[in-house]
Amino acid sequence: MSVLFEPVTLRNLTIPNRIWMAPMCQYSAAVEGPDQGAPTDWHLSHLAARAVGGAGLILAEATAVSPEGRISPADLGLWNDRQREAFTRVTRFLREHGAVPGIQLAHAGRKASVRRTWEGGGPTGPGEHGWQPIAPSPVPFNDGHPTPAELSVGDIDRLVGDFAAAARRALAAGFQVAEIHGAHGYLIAEFLSPFSNRRTDAYGGSYDNRTRFALRVVDAVREVWPDELPLFFRISATDWLAEDPRDDREGWSADDTVRFAKDLLAHGVDLLDVSTGGNVAGARIPTGPGYQVPFAAKVKAETDLPVSAVGEITRPRQAEEIIASGQADAVMLGRELLRDPYWPNHAARELGAAEGRWPDQYHRAV
């Protein structure tokens, strides 16, 4: 029996296997009009294909909790009921085909208002449906990026409410897992790291202050998210500054992540989705097969919080070893599922687990 295909239960929700689809932005929502931010036929076909392909959990891409929280003008949102209703056909299809539907709730912070990746990804202004980004501190992400407006305490209170309201809509839309996006240099990650958080009030300076906003968001979402359903948190386990002896700038470290994981567990988070990077432009990142897995393994070894691992996981036996060796409880696949939506079903055959979860319509090809 392959451990990769063993079910996992978090709270009262059982996910049928340990191969999960990581959230990946598609930049394909309407940028204006009544359907702004709502999922389209593209999102349905994109997510549905991975459910048919056998993934146990499908995490929809970073979905903004407010209009200025989008990464690009073409991002998904969940700040109104029209968007909520559009998501229902997506969640219904995923559940009908054996996958658990999840959604990542996000705010892009100082990395907001940029073009789509295939358009260069640079900042976009008001004449191109853009807006001024907001952040914990008026520190631009990179050269050429605008200086973000510094959030007031009142703004922070509003944003906490935005996350809770989006979580309510996610539940009404049929999602069974909510993930708070605290990684990759977006708003919550900007608060966590001293590299981007220069505040001198209750939300900056000390570790307790820098984690205050994230924990307030967790508490607000957990309050409206049912006790029987799990809540995830995605984190960048390091800014990659502490790992680079040539760089003496202060950032977020793997040890900070272990400490924070214990806090998240105490506040009702059920799994830490461990990634890295994204907050420091030009950081030196030594990529390679499974290069982020050791950070997930460190959290799993030093805390009681379940974890998922991500990052150049491309081969079934590689994924199997990550789970079998106790480095993670599940693997998140990103680009590999873009290349092959049926990767989980192919992996089942390679590992001798079963014939996979092929739909009846495809059995003649199995």
For strands 19-21 and 57-64, give the pairing: parallel
Rounded distance, CA 17 to CA 354, Å?
12
Rounded distance, CA 41 to CA 104, Å?
19
The DSSP-derived string for 100-159 is EEEEEEE--GGG-SB--GGGT--B--GGGT----EESSS--SSTTSPPPEEPPHHHHHHH
Question: What is the separation, in whole angstroms, between the first and last Cα of the chain?
Answer: 20
CB atoms within 10 A of CB 54: 26
**CB 251, CB 243: distance < 8 Å:** no
Dihedral sign computed on CA atoms, order 216, 217, 220, 221: negative
**CB 305, CB 264: distance < 8 Å:** yes
Residues 6+ apart with CB under 8 A from 315: none
Rounded distance, CA 242 to CA 248, Å?
8
186 is catalytic: yes
Choice among 186, 207, 291, 362 that is catalytic: 186
Which residues are catalytic, by number?
186
